[in-house]
């Protein structure tokens, strides 16, 4: 048996404590506590900095930015009201319930004067949007000294964005020209066509072009050309890398798959301006909404696939203006509704892409349109207007005027018979025309005069008034939706909108750099009128080709 060990001194109650271990444990705890406290302070500081940065940042989401400028050429506040009331009538909406998609985006108004007139033209108005500067009427992205100004589209391309333009006019018309060309006079459409496809010191700047105006891209020898030279601009475009889709028909457009579309591309659907919505054959020409949706899909897919920072797209409802120049209320209302459909498509895109903003604005008002007209100054005015009159009109007054002014159906008596029994009661749906009104239309010697006589049959019966076949100085509505749109609330000069586009894309430095390059390498002497617009083949050019 083992002897028991002698008893030692009694053990202290509780756990054993080594003095060395105890001192180091305390030091360890202090170190850990200090590190933890420091981390908390650092994390709090970083979090606060991030919150402040996000609060002040114009781009809290990071990533891609898309800017879509929509121009409702010639649409004033009265035109919006007329279209809304007209749509309410068509849809049977009573009371005050109806609204356009545009109405949901209203944020303010834009002042429209140019550098040399209280009443602007489209060229000076679009230059304000494109360059953020005031210039003289007729100027295409040049300043008052006829020196080129770099545009937001050109700067966006330089910064890596994709770019596009969608219009219902000739693609060389004043508004689109101001984003991708520089000429002293808007009449230089032959030169504008070449610049839009990359024949400038900046090279190719527009990735996508949808609209009308194929005549400007065909050599003079072609039957459908409106060039004064034999340059085949479509061939030039191909040489610059463009995919040129078959012009004057929509077949290639319909077969264009957005996810596989090759940029740059150009598709023009008419020799001149595209048809008014009231006259459009949907099998031949796409609507503004269809072109806009296709452009959005192509630019969005390509931007993501090619790791671009986003895109800039300019969309114009060009022919609202032309309907107003013609004092044609039925066509004007339908053009505005077609534009409203494009707004719907863009608003839906913005909802799905939070770093996107759409701005909708007019360059000016056209026609001095009034809703309400006193037809008999000797009587107390009637407080009414009649959308039903517009609903009965089946074709644009422009198409009718061209047909009648170029009458080839026989004798003057046959023409009068056609006017009395078909044009007025069937196409215009007016059954109470006077003999004087019939004679006025039947004997008019020019398209412009015929147009005026036709308008004088429709407009008074609808109680719609016009003060001019030109533009007016009225402020126009300003609409915006999406990223940074709150910054456009209120009444703005049109140049403020141009500056907003530049700031939102972050391309101010690019604007300055490209402006210097253009002013150094491009003079207006080189691009001064090389053949003007040429003869308009399908439209009355008396008013709107110079305004």
- The residues annotated with a catalytic role in the active site are 122
C-alpha torsion angle, residues 294, 298, 304, 306 (rounded to 10) = -170
Segment (H or E) for 376: none
3-class SS letters over 208-220: EEEEECHHHHCCC
Sign of CA dihedral 258, 263, 267, 272: positive
Among 144, 128, 153, which residue's Cα sits nearest to residue 511? 153
299 Cβ contact list (under 8 Å, min separation 6): 66, 162, 164, 207, 208, 311, 313
Q: Which two tokens stand for residue 380?
A: 């107390």
First-to-last C-alpha distance (Å) of the chain: 125
Give the span between the Cα atoms of 504 and 506, in whole angstroms. Answer: 5
Q: Are 276 and 324 in contact (CB under 8 A)?
A: no
Give the span between the Cα atoms of 184 and 196, in whole angstroms. Answer: 15
DSSP string over 445-484: -SHHHHHHHHHHHHHHHHTEE-S-SSEE---EEEEEEETT
DSSP string over 274-324: PPPTTT--TTTS--HHHHHHHHHHHHHHHHHHTT-SEEEEEEE-THHHHHH
Give the span between the Cα atoms of 224 and 222, in whole angstroms. Answer: 5
Residues β-bridged to residue 65: 310
Q: Are 206 and 263 in contact (CB under 8 A)?
A: no
Among 56, 149, 126, which residue's Cα sits nearest to residue 510? 149
Query: How crowded is residue 474: how many other Cβ atoms within 10 Å of its Cβ?
Result: 18
Task: Indicate the pairing of strand 476-482 with strand 471-472.
Answer: unpaired
Residues β-bridged to residue 244: 266
Give the span between the Cα atoms of 147 and 527, in whole angstroms. Answer: 12
Segment (H or E) for 238: helix 233-239
């Amino acid at each position: 048996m083992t002897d028991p060990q002698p008893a030692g001194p009694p053990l202290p109650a509780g756990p054993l404590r080594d003095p060395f271990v105890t001192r180091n444990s305390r030091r360890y705890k202090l170190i850990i506590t200090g590190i933890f406290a420091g981390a908390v302070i650092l994390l709090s500081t970083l979090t606060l900095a991030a919150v402040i940065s996000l609060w002040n940042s114009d781009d809290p989401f990071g990533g891609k930015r898309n800017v879509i400028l929509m121009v409702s050429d010639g649409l004033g506040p009265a035109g919006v009201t007329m279209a809304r009331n007209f749509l309410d009538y068509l849809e049977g909406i009573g009371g005050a319930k109806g609204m356009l998609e545009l109405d949901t985006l209203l944020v303010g108004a834009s002042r429209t004067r140019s550098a040399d007139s209280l009443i602007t033209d489209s060229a000076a108005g679009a230059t304000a949007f494109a360059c953020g500067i005031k210039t003289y009427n007729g100027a295409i992205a040049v300043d008052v000294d006829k020196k080129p100004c770099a545009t937001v589209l050109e700067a966006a391309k330089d910064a890596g964005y994709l770019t596009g333009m969608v219009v219902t006019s000739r693609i060389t018309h004043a508004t689109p020209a101001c984003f991708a060309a520089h000429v002293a006079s808007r009449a230089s459409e032959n030169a504008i066509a070449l610049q839009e496809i990359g024949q400038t010191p900046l090279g190719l700047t527009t990735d996508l072009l949808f609209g009308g105006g194929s005549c400007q891209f065909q050599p003079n020898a072609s039957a459908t050309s409106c060039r004064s030279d034999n340059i085949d601009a479509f061939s030039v475009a191909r040489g610059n890398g463009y995919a040129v889709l078959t012009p004057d028909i929509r077949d290639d457009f319909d077969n264009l798959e957005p996810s596989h579309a090759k940029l740059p591309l150009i598709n023009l659907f008419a020799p001149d301006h595209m048809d008014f919505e009231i006259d459009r054959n949907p099998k031949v020409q796409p609507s503004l909404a269809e072109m806009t949706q296709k452009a959005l899909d192509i630019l969005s897919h390509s931007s993501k696939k090619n790791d671009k920072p986003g895109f800039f797209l300019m969309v114009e409802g060009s022919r609202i203006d032309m309907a107003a120049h013609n004092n044609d209320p039925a066509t004007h209302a339908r053009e505005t509704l077609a534009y409203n459909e494009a707004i719907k498509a863009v608003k839906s895109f913005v909802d799905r892409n939070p770093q996107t903003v759409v701005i909708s604005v007019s360059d000016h008002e056209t026609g001095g349109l009034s809703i309400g007209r006193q037809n008999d100054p000797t009587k107390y005015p009637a407080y009414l207007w009649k959308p039903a009159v517009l609903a009965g009109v089946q074709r644009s007054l422009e198409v009718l005027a061209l047909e009648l002014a170029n009458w080839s159906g026989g004798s003057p008596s046959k023409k009068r018979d056609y006017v009395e029994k078909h044009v007025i009661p069937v196409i215009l749906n007016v059954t109470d025309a006077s003999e004087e009104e019939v004679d006025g239309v039947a004997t008019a010697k020019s398209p412009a005069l015929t147009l005026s006589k036709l308008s004088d049959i429709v407009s008074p019966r609808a109680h719609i008034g016009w003060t001019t076949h030109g533009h007016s100085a009225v402020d126009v509505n300003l609409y915006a939706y999406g990223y940074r749109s709150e910054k456009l609330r209120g009444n703005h000069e049109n140049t403020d909108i141009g500056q907003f586009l530049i700031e939102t894309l972050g391309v101010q430095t690019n604007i300055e750099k490209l402006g210097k390059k253009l002013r150094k390498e491009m003079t207006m002497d080189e691009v001064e009128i090389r053949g003007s617009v040429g003869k308009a083949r399908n439209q009355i050019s008396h008013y709107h080709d110079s305004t």
